[in-house]
Amino acid sequence: MLTPKQQELLSFIQTRLEEGGVSPSFEEMKDALDLRSKSGIHRLINALEERGFIRRLPNRARALEVLKLPDAMHRDVAPVIPARPRAAPSAPALPIAANDVIEIPLHGRIAAGVPIEAMEGQTMLSVPAALLGSGDHYALEVSGDSMVEAGILDGDFALIQRTETAREGQIVVALIDEAEATLKYFRREGSRVRLDPANPAYEPQVYDARQVRIQGKLAGLLRRYN
């Protein structure tokens, strides 16, 4: 069963697809639902996708497909959001990834070397939606050079999908002894966890599995150029 906001967004997407064949941008969806932040739209999109009502078309920005509608929204019922007047016909517009930007929390700095504390903060970071998949995300600023051979440099912003589990070989945020966090490759060695760097100048870090808690896995990177 959908929440009122989920149903409202699904109706808006369906209406826009019927009108012009192109799904609305995050900004348009935010305005239509009268939300303050595009991160709210991102969460609604994720919820609809997880429930099988929509899907994102791969390798295309602003590309959503409605797979099904709840009984209350079959097209013999008026959509929740009335259709907007259509503009005069023009050449089809190509979706642009940069149009869809959402804000995710920036939770301080994380070590790509010796573990340091990942500080919680209230700062938000604007991120192209095309860099993020489903799920809840946050960002951390990378400190150190132990992951350079994985293309992760000092000062980069690591985009992290929240999760408490990881597969062998994934790059994860690992919280050690509930105090310090680091960004490393995740490996298991029996009852122990090995956190591998991507720089031969650094040694792997080995811990009892009870010392390590996964806080997320790497979903993407943002880099600043000065």
**Residue spans per domain, the chain:** 4-85, 102-222
Q: Which of 3-17, 26-40, 196-210 has the highest mean pLDDT?
A: 196-210
- As a whole number, mean pLDDT of residues 23-38 equals 83
Q: Assess whether pLDDT exceeds 90 at residue 77.
A: no
| Topology of the domain covering 4-85 | Arc Repressor Mutant, subunit A (1.10.10)
By annotation, the residues acting in catalysis are 146, 184
For 102-222, CATH gives 2.10.109.10
Exposed e or buried b for every residue in 14-48, given b needs 16+ CB within 10 A? bbbeeeeeebbbbebbbebbebeebbbbbbbbbbb
| Tens of pLDDT, residues 134-182 | 788 889 999 889 999 999 999 999 999 999 999 999 999 999 988 888 9
CB atoms within 10 A of CB 179: 11
Q: Assess whether pLDDT exceeds 70 at residue 89.
A: no
77/37 Cα distance (integer angstroms) = 29
| Per-residue pLDDT, 199 | 94
49/183 Cα distance (integer angstroms) = 29
- As a whole number, mean pLDDT of residues 100-129 equals 72
| Tens of pLDDT, residues 46-69 | 888 888 888 876 545 557 888 888
| Per-residue pLDDT, 88 | 44
Contact 101, 127 (CB under 8 A): yes
| Per-residue pLDDT, 90 | 45
According to DSSP, the residues that pair with 175 across neighbouring strands are: 181, 213
Contact 97, 130 (CB under 8 A): yes
Burial of 120 (0-12, 13-18, 19+ CB in 10 A): exposed
Q: Assess whether pLDDT exceeds 60 at residue 93.
A: no
| Per-residue pLDDT, 81 | 42
CA distances to 91, 92, 190 from 20, rounded to whole Å, are: 11, 9, 55
pTM for this model (two decimals): 0.59
Burial of 193 (0-12, 13-18, 19+ CB in 10 A): buried
| Per-residue pLDDT, 182 | 92
Split at pLDDT 50, 70, 90, the class of 97 is very low
214/204 Cα distance (integer angstroms) = 17
